[in-house]
Amino acid sequence: MKKLFVIFFSFISILSFGQTDTLILLSGNKLPVKSFSKLKNGMYRFDVIKKHKIKSVDFYPSELFVVKHKNGSITKLFSKFYDKESGLNFTYDNAEEYVKGEIFAKRNYKFTGGKIINFIIGAVSPIVSSALTGTIIFSPLLPFASAVIIGYIKNSPKVFNKRFPQFKGNVFFKKGYIDAMRNIKLSIGTKFSIIGLLSGTAGYIIISKIL
């Protein structure tokens, strides 16, 4: 009987969490939320659902795009701004294209070759560091530097235009895609560099003891 009650309340909990709104950030990330409010300091506080638990998270207005409600309506939280880096004026419509570009990159961009390269560089870095300096203390420098360099190369609009000619004239979609692609490369590249570094260091220590 007790188990039935547990199953029943678990089922009710899942149903209640399923009826959620979706916060879409300007970064293209989507978060399930139950409610939100604007604070006196100008920030927004959202009740974000994560692993069937609710956690209050504060966001700056510049991080927000829209909230898509479970009934289909949309609350626009975006405020137009000028991006000095690109020289682009972001209105709501432009920002919508930018976010679409980010989401498109997150769904379609594959970094398979980069994962392998970063892992290999991380794995051999103890050997390189030992050969050049006589110690493996400086091993992390090489993989982290390579992760950053690889993260920033081939992110130009020309490369994008060649791969996706159908979006060639959509400046904001293009920028969203390129920004998301760079962030993906930096994040995944750093992760695999660390994995490679740990593997290489462990291997170096084992081999050193054997020899």
Q: Given this model, what pLDDT does residue 51 score?
A: 82
Closest alpha carbon to 170 in 102, 65, 98: 98
pTM of structure: 0.78
19 part of a folded domain = yes
- The count of structural domains within the chain is 2
CA separation for the pair 149, 16 (Å, rounded): 45
Handedness of CA 30, 93, 184, 141 (dihedral sign): negative
Q: Are 67 and 109 in a shared domain?
A: no
Q: Which domain holds residue 185?
A: 102-210
Question: What's the confidence (pLDDT) of residue 18?
Answer: 55
Residue-level pLDDT at 4: 42
Kindly give the pairing relationship between strand 64-68 and strand 53-59: unpaired
Do both 59 and 27 map to the same domain?
yes
pLDDT of 123 above 90: yes
Q: Say whether both 120 and 182 belong to one domain.
A: yes
Task: Enumerate residues 6+ apart whose C-beta is below 8 A from 47.
Answer: 33, 34, 35, 36, 54, 55, 56
Q: Across residues 57-72, what is the average pLDDT?
A: 92
The tens digit of pLDDT for each residue in 85-107 reads 889 999 999 999 999 999 999 99
Asked if residue 167 belongs to a domain, the reply is yes
What is the tens place of the pLDDT at every residue in 144-198?
Answer: 999 999 888 877 777 788 888 888 889 999 999 999 999 999 999 999 999 999 9
> Pick from 25, 157, 154, 27: which is nearest to 87 by CA?
157
